[in-house]
Structure 1
């Protein structure tokens, strides 16, 4: 049984911010000044399984490091928007490319740059440690902090509601 107050059978896509959602919001800096991020292995498993099961999966982040691009590409994610100055523009591009409607999309964000996208989508999600303004508009606040399994939480609940979680594809990478 899902703890998300939304008809999860409507969801056809998952879109995530990176910093503060798929990675912790405190990150070490490399000596060359680039931020270094952590990733959650269970998030990675859920993301690649969602791709295998035919969900559209996207990343929209204001940041840029090659490691982020490589990580999520290797999980099968095709829609990766980096250096996103105004996320709603990239979200509209995602909708146009996928042919989806906003109500078919779950978007997880944690801070003010995510606000406009979260106001538009059917299922706006926030990590437990998101900014107060983001929590106010989220339909679901995960019990997980950013970087600690937020993607796994929402993908697993959605796929269980749709009968896709423990499918044959679930038993391999």
Structure 2
């Protein structure tokens, strides 16, 4: 049986799950004199995340990071399921899917580094930014032409919604 293309798999997506560092942000962290870690997030990614939520998609974040500012930003976009401090991402994924009665094949996950590997092995559409590590690129069914923090999330959300006829334009 022939494997489906990533565009064909996009027809089945009901759920978007994203890592934060290296996906919704670039890999840079600014450190203040008080030790606070600051990150930048792309507003076009933010628009697409909010648009997906408003269009009725499940949107979740699973990150090992624990920055409350990141959580506030994502919640302001309407994302109710923001899981920070998730060092074992597969456990959090399984809990989220079971709680919300979501099948793994309906999930698009975007990750960029080693902690994302186990999750990406079980979802229907594993994706990554252009600057992900090679091992993650190797298991991704779609590699965005955008880098993390530079529109990679927008890229995959927009493509899925266009394939499903639900994008803004």
**Normalization by structure 1: what TM-score?**
0.92
Maintained 8 Å contact 1:128/1:143: yes
| 1:166 Cα offset (Å) | 2.0
Match of 1:31 among 15, 30, 33: 33
| 1:7 Cα offset (Å) | 2.3
Counterpart for residue 56 of structure 2:
54
CA distance in 1, matches of 2:128, 2:50: 21
Matches within 5 A, 1:152-171: 152-166=154-168
SS at match of 1:7: helix
Maintained 8 Å contact 1:17/1:59: yes
Task: Show structure 2 runs of 5+ residues with no match.
Answer: none
CA distance in 1, matches of 2:34, 2:96: 32
CA distance in 1, matches of 2:60, 2:109: 9
Maintained 8 Å contact 1:127/1:145: yes
CA distance in 2, matches of 1:138, 1:24: 19
Q: Which runs of 4+ in 1 moved over 2 A?
A: 3-7
SS at match of 2:30: coil
Root mean square deviation, CA, Å? 1.2
| 1:66 Cα offset (Å) | 1.1
CA distance in 1, matches of 2:55, 2:102: 16
Counterpart for residue 114 of structure 1:
116
Maintained 8 Å contact 2:7/2:163: no
**Normalization by structure 2: what TM-score?**
0.94
1:17-56 deviations in Å (ceiling 9; x for gaps) = 0000000011211222232110000000000010001100
Are 1:134 and 2:136 an aligned pair?
yes
Counterpart for residue 145 of structure 2:
143
CA distance in 2, matches of 1:85, 1:32: 25
How many residues get paired?
A: 165
Counterpart for residue 171 of structure 1:
none
CA distance in 1, matches of 2:33, 2:119: 33
